[in-house]
Amino acid sequence: MVFFLFRRLREFRSNAVAEFYLHIRPLLEDPQVQELGNYIQHNCHSRLNHCLDVAYCSFFIAKLLGWDYKSAARGGLLHDLFLYDRKENKQKAQGHLRRHPIIALENARKVCTLNKVEEDIIRRHMWLVTLVPPRYKEGYIVTFVDKYCALREAIISYRNSRRTLALSAGGAA
């Protein structure tokens, strides 16, 4: 029984990866989305990687629950579609946490036609920092997956900086 469930989950996962890319491929080919690869997110890896992580995890959870997984994937991929580095752009850094979902939504509308779930996912993904919660259940998946991914990236970044510090201290000794 356990073996059967394990096999089913493995099948589900391998099919899910192929289906995920089927839904997001047209968006991934867009030059604006590709440009996300030029920005670092949470001092860890590229913003494109962050968006792909959020999109895939959200897609997987929504698919398991039988919810709108296509919108979860597309909204997740476009949720941080802003093309600036807030550390280098002091003007954009002001109010960034609250403003970037609006900027991402404006940019996403130029990439493709969004449905109302995808629009809401992008606009409300900073809920808890912003006051208005998502309107659709898929939005809750993306907002919590985003926070989980951001925390994981912050931990990786912290570990990397500690390792670099230890190595440079070792080299200095």
Q: Site residues (CB under 5 A) for Fe ion? A: 80, 146
Nearer to Fe ion, 68 or 80 (CB): 80
Residue 133 or 168: the one with the smaller Cβ distance to Fe ion is 133
State the minimum distance, in angstroms, from the CB of residue 7 to Fe ion: 33
Q: How far is the CB of 32 from Fe ion (least distance, A)?
A: 16
Minimum distance from residue 120 beta carbon to Fe ion (Å): 14
CB of 53 to Fe ion, least distance (A): 9
* Number of Cα atoms under 13 Å in the Cβ half of residue 113: 0
Beta bridge partners, 46, equal 40
Between 9 and 132, whose beta carbon lies closer to Fe ion? 132
Cβ 15 to Fe ion shortest distance, Å: 26
| 17 vs 129, beta carbon nearer Fe ion | 129
Buried b (16+ CB within 10 A) or exposed e, 140-161: bbbbbbbbebbeebeeebeeee
End-to-end CA distance of the chain: 57
Nearer to Fe ion, 80 or 119 (CB): 80
Q: Which among 94, 90, 76, 86 is positioned nearest to 20, based on CA atoms?
A: 76
How many C-alpha atoms does 121 have within 13 Å on its Cβ side? 34
Q: Which residues are CB-neighbours of 18 under 8 A, at least 6 positions away?
A: none
DSSP 41: E
